[in-house]
């Protein structure tokens, strides 16, 4: 099919609209096809596989932590045995200069020879005219010449500015870009493939490769890994009774707000910048004052908490109390000199939670487990906890105590029969550093995706696949 400019405008406007009534994640997953739906595709069919290719490559070209690349293997083997020509595409962070060629070489080591047509994994370098959105003729020829059963990796999608065009685009920008976007989606369908498999679990931004390409495809599906992660683990995490939230980035307040709006969580254990905003909001609510120290200084970009964030936290705090949510906030802080303080003096910053806070967190976990045990005895499901982020500058031994000790609480909860899920990023790093994999039920390979999934707004690629599945162009 050929996509019109009007189709593109309607589709992209829907993707950018957070106020529409897209069903819950669970309902979307019930509707979106999985890999088995493509079983009857004939040999030689070209299939785009959106992958989690955002990995760190060392100077010698190796990929020490390849868990994201390994997530592609089962899907690629599925397609390889059926003789599909599979085109893997994705990005490596936000640096457009980083190449995906090492990913191609690494896939050769992971995917059995017979599952890639007994040929090396091909690499297709420059493949898009960024100004027009047209797939280059040279790349189209390379794809056309690929033998059935083979795998090829396309160069970094973020080498092209077009890939992130929908990140912050409003209706006016979408209309202005529509001819270029329309050319892109039609050119990809014509020159590359009309079948789209999403295996990019962590790719939760509005990248065109995840959200616009499906518009021009005949069939779409979720890959093996992503389908299992979403249906088996993410949907379970969405039922969390306890969430542990921390980190230096104050924008995590948005994620927590989304989570609380679903009215499932009963207890929030918070630390980091997010906790400071909530502490300030709590003080206002109680008629007290709470000093933010350096976090009140607008020149401290990394840790600054602006007044509007305090207002946002205040709204969250009041609504949480009305919903009987328990907020477990820091009682003391470790300052830069290593001392513990119930306040953060002017000119100072917090680097970890203090001993009183750690004891209070242990008590909160105890209450959570008492509720869990009572529920199990009454025939209810096990209680569920979600842990995300770290409590301080844990990279430095002087400020790792809060994080290290709380990782032990994850084991305590698991041993008591509760389900414990850990977000990717720093939370996963902390588990790896201070604990063992079997201390939790599941540790995700993605951070941002999980936070979005726990809220009440759809993950962009889920929204796109759902709309395509239902035949929605608008």
The pLDDT profile of the chain, 474 residues, written as one tens digit per residue, is 799 999 999 999 999 887 667 899 999 999 999 999 999 999 999 999 999 999 999 999 899 989 999 999 999 999 999 999 999 999 998 899 999 999 999 999 999 999 999 999 999 999 999 999 999 999 999 999 999 999 999 999 999 999 999 998 888 899 999 999 999 999 999 999 999 999 999 998 999 999 999 999 999 999 999 999 999 999 999 999 999 998 777 888 998 999 999 999 999 999 988 999 999 999 999 999 899 999 999 898 888 999 999 999 999 999 999 999 999 999 999 999 999 999 999 999 999 999 999 999 999 999 999 999 999 999 999 999 999 989 988 889 999 999 999 999 999 999 999 999 999 788 888 999 999 999 999 999 887 788 888 888 889 999 999 999 988 543
Give the per-residue pLDDT at 473: 41
The C-alpha atoms of residue 308 and residue 319 are separated, in whole angstroms, by 17
Cross-strand bridge partners of residue 86: 47, 151
| 32-71 b/e (C-beta count within 10 Å ≥ 16 → b) | bbbbeebeebeeebbbbbbbbbbbebeeeeebeebebbbb
Give the β-pairing of 442-443 and 128-129.
unpaired
Single out the residue of 450, 377, 74 nearest to residue 230, CA to CA.
450
What secondary structure letter does DSSP report for 178? H
The residue to which tokens 């569920």 are assigned:
384
Q: Are 292 and 232 in contact (CB under 8 A)?
A: no
The C-alpha atoms of residue 29 and residue 23 are separated, in whole angstroms, by 10
Q: Are 270 and 327 in contact (CB under 8 A)?
A: yes
Query: What are the start-end ranges of the H helices in 153-289?
Result: 171-191, 208-211, 224-228, 235-237, 252-261, 272-286
Query: What tokens were used for 339?
Result: 């001392």
Residue 63 backbone phi and psi in degrees, to 5: -125, 90
Q: Is 90 exposed, middle or buried (0-12, 13-18, 19+ CB in 10 A)?
A: buried
Cβ atoms within 10 A of the Cβ of 176, count? 11
The C-alpha atoms of residue 163 and residue 177 are separated, in whole angstroms, by 12
Q: Are 181 and 6 in contact (CB under 8 A)?
A: no
The C-alpha atoms of residue 106 and residue 70 are separated, in whole angstroms, by 9
Tell me how far CA of residue 140 lies from CA of 3, 146, 159, 196, 385, in angstroms. 19, 10, 18, 17, 48
| 349-360 b/e (C-beta count within 10 Å ≥ 16 → b) | bbbbbbeebbeb
pTM, two decimal places: 0.91
The C-alpha atoms of residue 358 and residue 352 are separated, in whole angstroms, by 10
Query: What tokens were used for 386?
Result: 């979600």
Q: Are 228 and 204 in contact (CB under 8 A)?
A: no
Give the per-residue pLDDT at 474: 37
The C-alpha atoms of residue 332 and residue 340 are separated, in whole angstroms, by 6
Q: Are 102 and 63 in contact (CB under 8 A)?
A: yes
The residue to which tokens 């529509």 are assigned:
178
Cross-strand bridge partners of residue 267: 242, 326
């Amino acid at each position: 099919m050929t996509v019109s400019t009007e189709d593109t405008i309607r589709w992209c406007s829907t993707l950018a609209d957070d106020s529409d009534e897209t069903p819950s994640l669970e309902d979307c997953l019930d509707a979106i096809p999985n890999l088995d739906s493509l079983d009857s595709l004939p040999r030689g069919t070209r299939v785009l596989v959106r992958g989690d290719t955002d990995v760190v490559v060392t100077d010698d070209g190796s990929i020490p932590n390849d868990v994201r690349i390994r997530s592609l293997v089962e899907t690629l083997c599925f397609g390889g045995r059926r003789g599909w020509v599979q085109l893997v595409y994705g990005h490596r962070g936000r640096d457009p200069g980083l190449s995906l060629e090492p990913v191609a070489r690494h896939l050769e080591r992971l995917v059995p020879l017979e599952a890639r047509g007994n040929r090396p994994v091909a690499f297709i370098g420059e493949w898009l005219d960024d100004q027009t959105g047209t797939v280059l003729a040279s790349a189209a020829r390379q794809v056309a010449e690929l033998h059935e059963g083979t795998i090829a990796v396309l160069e970094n999608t973020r080498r092209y500015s077009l890939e992130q065009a929908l990140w912050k685009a409003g209706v006016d920008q979408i209309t202005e870009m529509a001819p270029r976007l329309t050319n892109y989606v039609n050119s990809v369908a014509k020159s590359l493939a009309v079948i789209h498999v999403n295996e990019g679990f962590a790719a939760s931004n509005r990248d065109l490769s995840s959200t616009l390409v499906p518009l021009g495809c005949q069939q779409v599906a979720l890959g093996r890994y992503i389908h299992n992660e979403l249906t088996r683990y993410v949907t379970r995490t969405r039922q969390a009774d306890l969430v542990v939230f921390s980190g230096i980035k104050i924008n995590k307040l948005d994620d927590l707000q989304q989570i609380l709006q679903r009215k499932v969580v009963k207890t929030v254990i918070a630390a980091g910048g997010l906790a400071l905003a909530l502490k300030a909001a709590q003080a206002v609510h109680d008629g007290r004052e709470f000093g933010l120290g350096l976090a009140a200084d607008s020149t401290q970009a990394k840790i600054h908490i602006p007044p509007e964030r305090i207002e946002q936290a205040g709204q969250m705090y009041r609504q949480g109390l009305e919903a009987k949510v328990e907020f477990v906030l820091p009682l003391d802080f470790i300052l830069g000199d290593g001392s513990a303080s119930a306040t953060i003096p002017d000119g100072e910053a917090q680097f970890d939670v203090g001993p009183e806070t750690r004891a209070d967190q242990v008590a909160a976990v105890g209450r959570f487990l008492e509720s869990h045990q009572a529920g199990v005895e009454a025939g209810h499901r096990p209680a569920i906890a979600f842990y995300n982020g770290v409590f301080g500058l844990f990279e430095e031994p002087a400020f790792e105590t809060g994080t290290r000790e709380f990782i032990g609480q994850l084991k305590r909860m698991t041993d008591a029969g509760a389900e414990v899920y850990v977000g990717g990023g720093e939370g996963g790093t902390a588990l790896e550093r201070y604990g063992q994999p079997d201390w939790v039920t599941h540790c995700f390979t993605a951070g941002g995706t999980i936070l979005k999934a726990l809220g009440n707004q759809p993950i962009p690629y889920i929204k796109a696949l759902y709309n395509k599945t239902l035949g929605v162009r608008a």
